[in-house]
Structure 1
Amino acid sequence: MSYIEHLRSTTALSVVSAIMMSGAATSVAAQDTDTEADLEEVVVTGSRIPRKDLVANSPVNVITGEEFRLGSFTEVEALLNTLPQVVSSNGASTNNPGNGQANVDLRNLGTQRTLVLVNGRRFVGAATNGVVDLNNIPAALIERVEVVTGGASAVYGSDAMAGVVNFITRRDFEGLATNTQYGITQEGDGERISADITMGVNTGDGRGNITLNANYLKRDQVLAGARDHSAVQFNELAGGAGLAPGGSTTIPQGRFNSNALPSIGGLDSFGNPIGSNGFLVTDDGQARAVVRPQDEYNFAPVNNLLLPLERYTFSGMGSYQITDGIRFFGEVTFANNTIERELAATPFSETGFQVDLRNPFITDAVRAVFAQIDQDGDNIVTTGVRRRTLEAGGRVSRDSRNLFRVVGGFDGELENGMAWELFYNYGRNENSQRQDGNIVISKFQQGLLVDPNNPTQCLDPSGGCVVLNPFGQGNLTQEMVDFIVTGATNLTQVEQQQVGGNIAGNIFELPAGEVGIALGAEYRKETAAFTPDTFLASGDIDGFNAGQPTAGSFDVKEIYAESIIPILSGVEGAEYLGLELGVRFSDYSTAGGVTSYKLGGEWRPFDELKFRGLYQRAVRAPNILELFQGQTNAFPGAQDLCNATANRSQAEADFCVNSLGVPASAIATFQQENAQIETLNGGNPDLFEETSDTWSVGFVYQPSQVPGLSFTADLYSIKVDNAIALFGGGLSPTINACRSDLSLNNEFCQVLTARRSDGQLEEVPLFRQNIAQRTAKGVDFRVDYGFDTDNYGDFSWFLAGSYLIEATTRSSPFVNAVNCDGTVGVRGTCGRANPEWRFVSRLTHTMDNLTTSLLYRYVGGVTDERINLAEANGDPIPTLFIPEIGAEHYVDLTFSYKLGENFTLYTTVNNLFDNDPPLIGRGAAGQFNTDAGTYDVLGRRFTFGVRTRF
């Protein structure tokens, strides 16, 4: 629908451009009644019906291109994350978890539930989950961004459960504009270089226009070791006693554990009993049973704190007015993103390995410990091997992503004023991912078995096998590393096709005004495939988890209708009263037929005040990843109900032996080998649609006594049912659901039969189900004020905020809902920091050629989610060293100066007061001791740039 790409009036455009980030695109009528008659109808995201009033009934935030310029933003997600309605997702500083993409998450309901549009049309996703990578949208080309928060499926279709982010790009540009900038942190790293050029020319006596844009961005790597707060990974001490340097128990020295050793009372080299954690090899070749905190591997410093990125984008837009009522339009976009993710060396961790005690690299002390379980004297023992392969270097994943998108169509206006459009939208995204640092499991095993007649040679010499020495830190030679390490290449292809047509306008007039209507139909097909390296797909790899291939497609046919119906107008107590209705029917090749709808309206008792409300039923059909994902390995933390603990009942022990496959000889002392248990995740073609109920009520107030002042506030509520999640809500809830009914008729017990012959859980199948529930409820508010003075320049100010009343997540019907309002979890149930209060404010002053702008961002305090989890389950509240995190205050300062008509110099200081990120307990966070997506982890940064316009 091309009319959403632009405002059809120069006057209307100037109004929107004056709004920095409007809580609702400010009503022209309330500001200047003399200009209302001059306005033509416009379209604001949230409805397809053009109208003369820029205030939508859905809460709409508008970010103009000026806001990008004032903040010197080169990455789109950096600005979106300042919005109070946005909870940070993956981006420039999320290395693990993260994949180099930049995503947006409205209301903390998940990136897959936020629909991203460009000029009102869908944008092709970057992976099989269909989520859009914002790195493909250059900030320089953006005219404005309209953000609808709340379900919008009736208007835009699936995925719009949390809301819509609509990027509207420049068009009808004439002339030449450039923007070049350089940025660097106070520490002298994290350099950014960005350059873009935009050219436009009118053709055919003003009937046509061609606009071209090219952008280059290069962002340098920063490692976590470059900052004091992230150079050491802290572990949380038991009982909230404090934090201590630590890291991973998969250590460079090598750790070896076998159930046989504790069961026979095995002793280490110092006469200490060996427990289920096994023993490590000391620097002098001894076997020590106790793994001390100082033995743990500090993985933090070699992870990325800022992911390096190199990006090229090229965009073109054109239009030509063929006749007075028909216009052709087109868009072309190409983007190449190269991004690198770096993790610590592979934490090799495998069970059931055979070790030959004749290996010449095993010290006598270690051999003596292993010999305790060599009951048959064949010099072969079975053990688990956990070793950080530092000698092989870090795990590096390099992604090269190429995106191509083309849009073409016709639009125009009928003689009766109805606007129409027909369009075709095609997008393709290809990603080639190169991985280095993976360890081949079978080769590691091959190198542990030696030829009895020549122990310096492998029992199986095929493939150039060399005998391995993992017994102690630094003992793997380059020859050994070359044998066990492999690279890999994964390919992802995503394709989207969309054909649509619509017609909108006023169809007839009632006493209270004209009835507006929009009718349309769309067809869309989504295809995606992930093809992992053959070696990775075999499962014979430790390092990066690839899993099995994923491939699938679906198509959907949709029809929709909207209407705005005036009821009263120009009477006492009702300057305007009207209804807004909408319905969409979608027929998915996978989920079948689904219906979404909306019902709302507005009431203006007088010109200055508007009340608005809207109820929406939204739907989201499962994406290709959720439907067709090949099996992939995961390693969640959980405790097997068969573990010999003090609270394990006799009934549970009997069930483990008789039904779950734990050997009777081991049940008395049975312990799982690792705190993390391997599971198999994957798609489910039987999934059906998620549904949500969203309502919002609010007001817009613009007092005529104070021109330029406006207030908005909206109360919203979103409830998502049948949300797609892992089977049982995950491994721990599945185990709890089995414990409540110890029977193989219980489907949650059936999956726990996935065990090895020694009883250890392995590859527990947890495939997705429509099983979860999410809610979000709160208040959005905003104040805008701007005024001009004769002697002191022009001032503009806004304050946009959000108060979170409720945010719950329930991973399955078999667990209690957890209140995530005001919590931080990162890798747990609640996700990233989601404080009760957030707001952002900007004050800008312009006098003559100098503009000064100050941006203030407030992130409210949060509580460690483990406290909320305990409350939900009725468990004792844990004693934590850092149970709560205080509020954070960020300030950015920008100066710009115009040198004549064509040149502008500017500089921005981000994080002016050099705030360090807050420390979060290890159990709650997981990356760099903080929430790297929410809090600033780089410190003070400087940007210098120049803009030209000819």
Structure 2
Amino acid sequence: MGSTIFTKGFVKLGMVSLAAVTVGLAAQAQGETQRFRISQGSLQQALVEFTVQSQYQFMATEGLLSGKTVTPVIGVMSREEALQRLLEGTGLTYEIDRQGRVILEEDREKHGASGPSNSTSLVQYAAVSDAEIARQSNGAAVTNARNGGDVDETDGDGLEDGAVEEITVTGSNIRGTEPASQVFKYEREEIERTGLTTLPQFLRTLPQVFGGGAQDGNGGGNFVAPGSGAGSNVGFGSGVNLRGLGNRSTLVLLNGRRMAPAGFGEVVDISLIPLPAIDSVEVLPDGASALYGSDAVGGVVNFVLRDDYEGAQTQARYGFVTEGGLDELQLSQTFGKSWNSGHAMLSYEFFDRSFLDSEDRDFSVNSPDPTYLLPEQTRHSVFADVGQSLSDQVEVFATAFYSDREFETFTALTTSPLTSLLTGSTEQFGGTVGGNVNVGNDWLLEVAGTYNETTSLLVNNTFFIPFDPMSSPLFTSINETTSEALVIDAILDGPLFQMSGGQAKAAIGGQFRGETFQRRIGDVVRTDEDRDVYAVFAELNFPFISAENRSPGFERLELNIAARYEDYNDFGSSTDPRIGLVWSPVVGLKFRGTWGTSFKAPLLSELDETGNQAFLLDIENPDNPSEIIPGMIWIGNNSDLGTESATTWTAGVDITPVSVPGLSIEFTYYDIDFEDRITTIRAFLDGFSDPRFASLLTRNPNAELINSLSSLRLFENFSTMFQPEDTQIIFDRRLRNLATVQTNGLDFAASYGFDSDIGTWNVSIGGSYILEFTEQIFEADQPVDIVDTVFNPSDLRLNGAVSWEKDGFASNVQIRHTGAYRDVRETPAANVDSWTTVDLNLSYNTSGNTDSPWLRDTVFSISVQNLFDQNPPFVVGNAGAERNFDPENATSLNRFIAFQISRSW
């Protein structure tokens, strides 16, 4: 089974590591995209910081900069874009001379100025010595700033002096390339500002992320909404569901690497990743199989580990609901060290939460007792990251992680006299080793091997109601699943040739993936599947127009082309192209668009037929209803499944007006046509007579097929008149590539940051509006629009925030809104109210505000989720689970208050 694949895999992994050290891997080369952090203040001081981070030299006429101020410039972008943002509102523009110097001058279109009369009148600004930089920027911050990192007293990224960090961002395999897709990037500090301290909580607040699917209150035989895509959610994990297309259609990465899924392979459990180990979260809500392969249909979420932390941070948090007995304790410790040639980080987190009883909520008080709305959970997580440059040409890196979460919950139905005590755990561990080498002419080769394993255990003890804790269970079932993934990547990227707008660049690479899935029921292995995947991919980027050759109407014009081919040894292959285009007619206005195809490979668990079932029944003859004949129904998995495929295109505009510094507005239209989705036929006896299912009927089956089905371990003869060999018709209800989903909608976001006499403010609003979300099982069926129906996405989701900071004090108010929708299970359809909640987070940072050695570098905060204690909208319970709310679109937590102390040492 998988032992062979992983024995070979570890040999390959060791060879990769040895080659990485022996051949030598590379120092980062200067490129077009890097991280900037320019403080608000005078333009002259800002240019000092910009020089440190960009290596530009600035020239201007004497006195030109006097009295001019700038707003902060923070984020990952090209040097030219950062400079344009820096100069917004100053009335200045720039040119780059033949020596590469930046010549600042008044905007002639606005002021009628002719610019500097001659070069002799220019004064060099921000040309500071290392000593002056050290005086102004303070030690370790200088190294990081020079390398394009954050200007911070503690952070440093370990690059050698004089280098500028050129990074690869989610959405492209080419260093220094800004993707044509919209990418939402959330820094750890921004996430913490919301008062949310787990990644599942934060991801669920994003308008593009539908709450449906795997979550801690939705799994393990507990209440799972129909069509949620949660699968069994054996380990009570939490996944990501972009665009409402299901957890399995969203690719989750850690530091750009795949992770092994939990449960039956349908979800990567992000609840096992501790927030203190995360530097940022990057969300690409666009099809991206051309870049990353299978699963990237709804998009990609990449969790980036911290690699530039210097010092130690201790954090403690305690929270509780104001109604009920649920409380949480969270403790974490992070150590980090950066030096000129490397870095190291180690982070540990402990998380413990008690259960939320259904009796603690008036909307679910009629649920059978005992029933938990949220399970009791305890988690330990350890993450480590290290990188080291061995020479000017050599860099090696490694990450490692281990998480273990245990849970306990009760679930019961009003339709049954029984209750189930569900206990279990999810354990995940793994890591990456690799490195990169500069092979010459700014071409960088990166080779890495990643292994990770996830085991989910579910123990179901069944009791009579009322539950007696001293009684023995009526029966016990044990279900354990294990998924393993070994990935070996090699990617080479660099410049191809010089174009008028800059360097044309390319990336080429290959990947091997070995995946296994095993399921045990008790001590018996029921499923044991594995697969090998080989992939090759390429990406090209052509900058036709940039700041180097801009002209009226064309500030920037850039084309990106990518393609990937993946071959699976168990079912087939897929080739997926992608095209992206970016056009900026003027500074502050950018249009972008993408088109591409994506795919989703069937799960290993879905290809395994060992658990299939068949039933022999007495049915009405579909050709003569007055006659009773023997018919067989065949259900379960299907080894002949193929890929699910999607075509996606987007069009968007980004507006950062020069006349309003600090304002940013973004709009994106998306359209997804998702075909051949794997689905189960929702029919039973009616399937024999419904003409829609005619292609799934086998009339007068041969003896071989009848014998194979009647020999199944789970075959049952429910006929009172016939034996299996008499079977006249078979209804094949196994999983099939049948369904089609079409969805389109709008994403929008706006933010405005500004300074005032009473502090620094930032106001933002983001949202997603679904125009269409239709499902169709057969071509002859009429598409059914499921948007705004219970257990499916609401058409409108909004997230607005107002934050304020001054003298160490900070506040953040967040308002979240989910639009009203309908419960179509009732006739006529019942209205479900909209849901609006408010979160509040208040904090005080003592850094620079106290001389006390006991209080310095400490942050005190209090956060309140659902400040006004709004119940989720009432929805009639499903299938005897009287929870009476929709867990796909709301939560049962209600008001939750938390106190937190964080100390840096």
Question: Do the aligned partners of residues 844 and 550 (structure 1) sit closer, same or farther apart at CA in structure 2, a change above 3 Å counting?
Answer: same
Match of 1:28 in 2: 82
Match of 2:629 in 1: 658
2:672 maps to a residue whose letter is I
Question: Do the aligned partners of residues 938 and 563 (structure 1) sit closer, same or farther apart at CA in structure 2, a change above 3 Å counting?
Answer: same
Deviation at 1:76, TM superposition (A): 1.1
Match of 1:510 in 2: 499
Matches within 5 A, 1:14-93: 14=37, 28-32=82-86, 40=164, 41-51=166-176, 56-88=179-211, 89-93=213-217
Residue 698, structure 1, aligned to residue 678, structure 2: no
Check conservation: 1:402, 1:429, Cα contact below 8 A. yes
1:937 maps to a residue whose letter is S
Separation of aligned partners in 1, 2:695 and 2:765: 56
User: Which one of 838, 855, 858 corresponds to residue 817 of structure 2?
Assistant: 858
Match of 2:874 in 1: 919
Separation of aligned partners in 2, 1:427 and 1:774: 32
Match of 2:362 in 1: 228
Matches within 5 A, 1:269-348: 299=368, 301-344=369-412
Match of 1:411 in 2: 436
Residue 128, structure 1, aligned to residue 196, structure 2: no
- Give unmatched runs, 5+ long, in structure 2: 1-19, 41-71, 88-92, 97-101, 103-145, 149-163, 225-232, 725-729, 848-855
Match of 2:47 in 1: none
Deviation at 1:64, TM superposition (A): 1.6
Q: Deviations over 1:814-850 (max 9, x none)?
A: 54321012222x3xxxxx3x11111101110001111
What SS does the aligned partner of 1:302 have?
coil
Separation of aligned partners in 2, 1:734 and 1:722: 20
Deviation at 1:432, TM superposition (A): 3.1
Residue 576, structure 1, aligned to residue 556, structure 2: yes
Check conservation: 2:622, 2:689, Cα contact below 8 A. no
Match of 1:720 in 2: 674
Deviation at 1:396, TM superposition (A): 1.5
Check conservation: 2:750, 2:766, Cα contact below 8 A. yes
Match of 1:214 in 2: 348
What SS does the aligned partner of 1:904 have?
strand
Deviation at 1:80, TM superposition (A): 0.6
Q: Deviations over 1:773-815 (max 9, x none)?
A: 11220011110111122x2110112111111011111234454
Check conservation: 2:413, 2:881, Cα contact below 8 A. no
Match of 2:578 in 1: 598
Check conservation: 2:687, 2:731, Cα contact below 8 A. no
Match of 1:757 in 2: 719
Check conservation: 1:21, 1:64, Cα contact below 8 A. no
What SS does the aligned partner of 1:582 have?
strand
Question: Do the aligned partners of residues 29 and 892 (structure 1) sit closer, same or farther apart at CA in structure 2, a change above 3 Å counting?
Answer: same
Check conservation: 2:810, 2:842, Cα contact below 8 A. yes
Separation of aligned partners in 1, 2:895 and 2:610: 43
TM-score (norm 2): 0.75
Match of 2:5 in 1: none
What SS does the aligned partner of 2:661 have?
coil
Q: Deviations over 1:519-545 (max 9, x none)?
A: 1111111011011126xx8xxxxxxxx
User: Which one of 177, 185, 192 corresponds to residue 321 of structure 2?
Assistant: 185
Question: Do the aligned partners of residues 527 and 511 (structure 1) sit closer, same or farther apart at CA in structure 2, a change above 3 Å counting?
Answer: same
Residue 96, structure 1, aligned to residue 223, structure 2: yes
Check conservation: 1:698, 1:713, Cα contact below 8 A. yes
Check conservation: 1:838, 1:858, Cα contact below 8 A. yes
Match of 2:154 in 1: none
Residue 421, structure 1, aligned to residue 555, structure 2: no
Check conservation: 2:799, 2:816, Cα contact below 8 A. yes
Deviation at 1:92, TM superposition (A): 2.8
Considering only aligned residues, what root-mean-square deviation do their CA atoms show, in Å?
3.9
Check conservation: 1:129, 1:626, Cα contact below 8 A. no
Question: Do the aligned partners of residues 25 and 624 (structure 1) sit closer, same or farther apart at CA in structure 2, a change above 3 Å counting?
Answer: farther
User: More displaced, 703-712 or 563-572?
Assistant: 563-572
2:381 maps to a residue whose letter is T
Match of 1:585 in 2: 565
TM-score (norm 1): 0.72
Separation of aligned partners in 2, 1:699 and 1:925: 47
Separation of aligned partners in 2, 1:705 and 1:574: 19
Match of 1:890 in 2: 837
Matches within 5 A, 1:522-921: 522-533=511-522, 549-569=526-546, 570-628=550-608, 630-631=610-611, 653-655=625-627, 657-660=628-631, 681-726=635-680, 728-731=681-684, 734=687, 737=690, 745=698, 756-758=718-720, 766-789=733-756, 791-813=757-779, 815-824=781-790, 826=791, 832=792, 834-866=793-825, 878-880=827-829, 883-900=830-847, 901-921=856-876
Check conservation: 1:23, 1:782, Cα contact below 8 A. no
What SS does the aligned partner of 2:640 have?
coil
Separation of aligned partners in 1, 2:771 and 2:299: 18
Separation of aligned partners in 1, 2:296 and 2:322: 40
Deviation at 1:324, TM superposition (A): 1.0
Separation of aligned partners in 1, 2:858 and 2:450: 37
Match of 1:12 in 2: 35
Deviation at 1:742, TM superposition (A): 12
What SS does the aligned partner of 2:626 have?
helix
Separation of aligned partners in 2, 1:511 and 1:583: 25
What SS does the aligned partner of 2:362 have?
coil
Check conservation: 1:24, 1:61, Cα contact below 8 A. no
Check conservation: 1:631, 1:680, Cα contact below 8 A. no
Deviation at 1:225, TM superposition (A): 1.6
Q: Deviations over 1:489-510 (max 9, x none)?
A: 3322211100011122322111
What SS does the aligned partner of 2:363 have?
coil
Question: Do the aligned partners of residues 744 and 211 (structure 1) sit closer, same or farther apart at CA in structure 2, a change above 3 Å counting?
Answer: closer
Separation of aligned partners in 1, 2:403 and 2:39: 28
Separation of aligned partners in 2, 1:634 and 1:743: 15
Separation of aligned partners in 1, 2:215 and 2:773: 23
Question: Do the aligned partners of residues 333 and 478 (structure 1) sit closer, same or farther apart at CA in structure 2, a change above 3 Å counting?
Answer: closer
1:884 maps to a residue whose letter is N
Deviation at 1:304, TM superposition (A): 1.3
Q: Deviations over 1:95-121 (max 9, x none)?
A: 422541111111111111100001111
Q: Deviations over 1:292-315 (max 9, x none)?
A: xxxxxxx3x422111111000011
Match of 1:248 in 2: none
2:752 maps to a residue whose letter is Y
Deviation at 1:741, TM superposition (A): 5.9
1:318 maps to a residue whose letter is V
What SS does the aligned partner of 2:37 have?
helix
Separation of aligned partners in 1, 2:501 and 2:822: 51
* Paired positions, count: 741
Separation of aligned partners in 1, 2:834 and 2:818: 6
Q: Deviations over 1:224-253 (max 9, x none)?
A: 1221111115xxxxxxxxxxxxxxxxxxxx
Separation of aligned partners in 2, 1:857 and 1:716: 22
Deviation at 1:413, TM superposition (A): 3.5
1:488 maps to a residue whose letter is S
Separation of aligned partners in 1, 2:505 and 2:695: 60
- Give unmatched runs, 5+ long, in structure 1: 234-298, 348-386, 440-472, 538-547, 644-648, 662-678, 827-831, 868-877
Separation of aligned partners in 1, 2:79 and 2:289: 21
Separation of aligned partners in 1, 2:581 and 2:892: 44
What SS does the aligned partner of 1:823 have?
coil
What SS does the aligned partner of 1:78 have?
helix
Q: Deviations over 1:254-295 (max 9, x none)?
A: xxxxxxxxxxxxxxxxxxxxxxxxxxxxxxxxxxxxxxxxxx
1:620 maps to a residue whose letter is K
Match of 1:272 in 2: none
Provide the identity percentage: 26
1:92 maps to a residue whose letter is D
